Amino acid sequence: MHPNFQPAVYIVANKRNGTIYVGVTSDLAQRIWQHREGVVEGFTKRYGCKMLVWYELHSTMEHAITREKQLKAGSRRTKLGLIEALNSQWKDLFGEICG
């Protein structure tokens, strides 16, 4: 296990109330950096989802993956509710996890 191993589920967005993406990772800071820099082809690069607007840490990858699947199966309204409850200003939380 590498030193930054910390399972997490996250939501990135391109703007407030814009396009959102739910993902899971074992290294949140590295993964969000990848989204911000556009180094990975796919949905987030195509739609410019670079702002970390919500995240949740988990004790195991199994728990994180289960939660990611639950969120992806849920409604957009539910996801927006999570963001609004934690981050009503839709601030980019990248500095919070890297600082």
- The CATH class that applies to domain 8-98 reads alpha beta
Give the per-residue pLDDT at 43.
Answer: 96
Give the per-residue pLDDT at 20.
Answer: 98
Give the residue extent of every domain in the chain: 8-98
Give the per-residue pLDDT at 88.
Answer: 96
- The two tokens of residue 80 are 């927006």
Report the predicted TM-score, pTM, of the whole model to 2 decimal places.
0.94
The CA distances from residue 13 to 3, 32, 36, 62, 63, in Å, are 27, 11, 11, 24, 23
The per-residue pLDDT string of the chain (99 residues; one tens digit each, 9 = 90 and over) reads 566 799 999 999 999 999 999 999 999 999 999 999 999 899 999 999 999 999 999 999 999 999 999 999 999 999 999 999 999 999 999 999 986
